[in-house]
A and B are shown apart, each in its own frame.
Chain A
Amino acid sequence: MATFTLIINGKKHAVDAPPEMPLLWVLRDLLGMTGTKFSCGRGLCGSCTVLLNGEATRSCVTAVDYAAEKTITTIEGFAEDTNNPLLEAWVAEDVPQCGYCQPGQILTAASLLRMKSHPTDTDIDAAMAMTLCRCGTYPRIRKAIKRAASRGAGKGGEE
């Protein structure tokens, strides 16, 4: 057990946890931030994605000691900006079905747009391929990313 300082959505949190405890469970069970989802625990599906220093990162395989002192953005923090063009696009395309994987999808897309403000279909395929959705919202995710890109979501970063 050790104490770590986590910078989550711009706020500092001190948590006592074993150093190898995955960030996912620190967020969900120690801090009660349930927007970040558990699905496989092995980094295979992307439901647990957060932004670590702006980059999409699978929190279920990221130890808390690695995340300490870095900038962590979860879906709750990402959604604080109510005029966020990526979220607006997601709503406009009515992307979610069950909705469970969507925080991970959105943050993976945010990370893509941060690197490529106008991604091609091939870019989108490469970035989103391993973020799984069992409801099959893929066509709408593609549309939402393109809509967000056309409205400048990729400019200036999302953080």
Chain B
Amino acid sequence: MNTVTISRRDFIKIATVAGGGLMLGFRIPSESNSADFSPNVWLRIAPDDTVTITVARSEMGQGVWTSLPMIVAEELDADWNHVRIEQADAHPVKFGSQSTGGSFSVRGSWQTLRMAGATARDMLVTAAAKKWNVAKVNCTAAQSFVRGPGGRKLSYGELASDAAELPVPHSVRLKEEKAFTLIGTRVRKLDTPSKVRGTAIFGLDVRLPGMMFASIQKCPVFGGTVASFDASAAKKVPGVVDVFQVEDGLAVVATNTWAAFQGREALQVTWNEGKWANQSSAAIRKTFESALANRGTVDNYAGNAETALASSSVTVEAVYEAPFVAHQTMEPMNCTAWVRRDSCEIWAPTQSPQPIQNQAAQILGLPLDRVTVHVTLMGGGFGRRLNPDFGIDAVRVAKAMKGTPVQVVWTREDDTQHDWYRPMTLNILKAGLGKDGRPVAWMHRIAGPSSRGLVTGGSTPPYDIPNFVVESHILETGVPIGAWRSVGPSQNAWIVESFIDELALKAGKDPLEYRRSLLSKSPRLKRTLEVAAEKAAWGTPLPKGKGRGIACVDSFGSTCAQVAEVSVANGKVKIDRIVVAVDCGTAVNPDTIEAQIEGAIAYGLSAALKDEITIDKGRVQQESYDDYRMLQFDEMPRVEVHIIPSTEPVGGIGEPGLPPVAPALCNAIFMATGRRIRKLPFGLG
């Protein structure tokens, strides 16, 4: 029986809610080591039956405003039509960590959200039983009503205030998963109507009385600073209110965004370009290349790869390289701040409001509780908005404009040139095969910019290889590096899954069979691989000029395998379809899961085929959508998603669909053309 004991540290009950009703707070345990009680999920049932779930995670298109409440509503047996979402402001004490990343929202709060729903349900049923003076076992809950003997019936709203008078139960029973009626069904996202009507409020849509708009000119060279400037022409632009220096650039404040942009164009600035003034992609590659001649820091190993390599009769070697890649969220970075005498209010489209809150408090010399950060919807996150830089921009400008709300707006060019990029890496791989063709040794040496985790994540092969080593050289390049949707696995899985294909073919084996024979330690991944292969009819003959490729990756708590099918005509590759199998444990909202896989494939294909940030004279050379191109509508292949029914623990879904797509495609292109792709991006000819 699925009974969960509630410790005193797991919940809080607020008996007095304005307007009556029941309010419960729950702690999501795994997130903070603090001994203080800090509930990070809040659930409120109002007398009008509305169930409001406050969630301290950011919605960026991944669907958490819908999937998280679904989990609560399932255990609560609430009528989904009564469920509302409320976005939490930054509040470390109340909510613990509010960072939204690592495909963690659902899997990180799964148990607590279920417990929250089940506890509230139990209290509502108890309240009804007391009211009717009947045994609790004779009462049932469904669709926001408790029903009792003799046709008695009360709504959750009618019971909420009575329930609030009860003690919180010591233990509650969670549903058997097979009894779920909401989880596992296709639920339309709660925020869809506002997004199709243009009423959804993104960061850039925040409007406040008397607000100003600002644009900041930063040094195009990373780490550069202002040497001198002449703002006289900028100040003459109609609408420009002020121009002043902020920490790392020049802020132009105006009555509208366009005037701020125009004013910025008119600035005359001389920069101290600093130590990276001559940095270039070619120089970085050279640095990486020299480093790779030597052993690096060992990140992971088993056995002795060096000895095993030396004694292998057949060896395979390859060099793989990937460039810097930008996020390119459709909504450029922006933030609105309003600094008053003893407080500050911030509206930020952020995946992580607390670093903005902390830094604002420091910059303004205010106690943390005088800084409010409202989290808005964001026009794409993908890891970019984990960084607080754009929020700090707004705080600095608003500090200088004390009393006036200011929205700082980045241009598309700012966004492209001042990102926190997926790291460029250069990789040497060596493997040795035994007589039976199985790999006996695997060596992967990576050179990349800091930090290590971003460079090496996902580089350990999931296969049965008795001797392997992953080593890395982490070198400072001056280029800011950050989390990019699916992070390390986004490129390391491309390398691992391409190289294992090279080994399979060297061994004269079918790439599917080769992988299957090496996955004894990963039955879940093996099964996922097999489902993808079966759904794609792997092994059935293809006409000449067509090719199939496969890849499988375990990342962010889920396994995903993909088969790419391509056809080649006149030297041009066309992606016919991508067949996907995914095991993400319990599938909360299959519709969102499919959407996230489709989106991850589009994002992954952009990086595989198009995206490349290059550096010259310390500057990013790309500016906008014309020279840094994303996948277009007419380039999107057919995607078929198969969600594997699973009893595995619930896994992530925002990212796991991405890592397999590039290697599956490269492996398919090899089958169709004999061309092995070891450098991103590669285009389709």
Interface residues of A (CB under 8 A from B): 1, 18, 21-22, 25, 28-30, 32, 34-42, 44-45, 47, 74-76, 78-79, 87, 90-91, 94-103, 106, 124-126, 128-142
Find out whether the CB atom of B633 lies under 8 angstroms from the CB atom of A100.
no
A107 → B minimal CB distance (Å): 10
Which single residue of chain B is at the shortest CB-CB distance from A98?
B61
Please tell me if the beta carbons of A96 and B189 are within 8 angstroms of each other in the complex. Answer: yes
> B229 interface residue, CB < 8 Å from A?
no
Which B residues touch A18, using CB under 8 A?
Answer: 238
Chain B residue numbers with a CB within 8 Å of A21 are 258
Q: What 1/0 mask marks residues of chain B from 363 to 402 whose CB sits below 8 Å from any chain A CB?
A: 0000000000000011111100000000000000000000
Q: Find chain A residues with CB under 8 A from B603 CB.
A: 134-136
- Give residues 11-70 of B contacting A (CB, 8 Å): 60-63
B198 touches A29 (CB 8 A): no
Q: B261, A97: Cβ atoms under 8 Å?
A: no
Q: Does A136 lie within 8 Å of B257, measured CB to CB? A: no
Within 8 A of A (CB), among B139-178: none
Identity of the chain A residue whose Cβ is nearest the Cβ of B207 in the assembled complex: A32
* Residues of B that sit less than 8 Å from A by CB: 60-63, 188-189, 191-202, 204-205, 207, 213, 238, 255-258, 261, 328-332, 377-382, 409, 411-412, 591, 595-596, 598-603, 624-626, 630-634, 636, 638-639
Among B194, B195, B328, B626, which residue has its beta carbon within 8 angstroms of that of A134?
Answer: B328
Whether the pair A100, B380 counts as a contact (CB closer than 8 A) is yes
Chain A residue contacts of B595, Cβ below 8 A: 94, 97, 137, 140
Q: A137, B202: Cβ atoms under 8 Å?
A: no
Q: In the bound complex, do residue A79 and residue B197 qualify as a contact, i.e. CB atoms below 8 Å apart?
A: yes
Q: Which of chain B's residues has its CB closest to A36's CB?
A: B198
Ordered by A's residue number, 30 sampled pairs between the chains whose C-beta atoms are within 8 Å are: A18-B238, A29-B255, A29-B256, A35-B197, A36-B198, A37-B379, A38-B257, A41-B261, A44-B624, A75-B198, A96-B189, A96-B191, A97-B61, A97-B62, A98-B330, A98-B331, A100-B379, A101-B330, A102-B196, A106-B196, A124-B633, A130-B633, A131-B633, A133-B602, A136-B598, A136-B602, A136-B631, A136-B636, A137-B599, A142-B633
**Contact: A40 with B624, CB < 8 Å?**
yes
Query: A139–B596 Cα gap in the complex (Å)?
Result: 12
Which residues on A sit within 8 Å (CB–CB) of B196?
79, 87, 90-91, 95-96, 99, 102-103, 106
Query: Among the interface residues A99, A106, A138, which one has the most CB atoms of the partner chain B within 10 A?
Result: A99
Given the known interface contacts A134-B380, A135-B599, the answer about A37 and B331 at a Cβ–Cβ threshold of 8 Å is yes
Chain A residue at smallest Cβ distance from B589? A94
Cross-interface CB contact of B258 among A22, A78, A131, cutoff 8 Å: A22
Identify A42's interface contact among B60, B205, B624, B639, CB under 8 A.
Answer: B624
Decide: B207 and A34 in contact? CB cutoff 8 A: yes
Distance between B214 CB and nearest chain A CB, rounded to angstroms: 12
Contact A139 B639 (CB under 8 A): yes
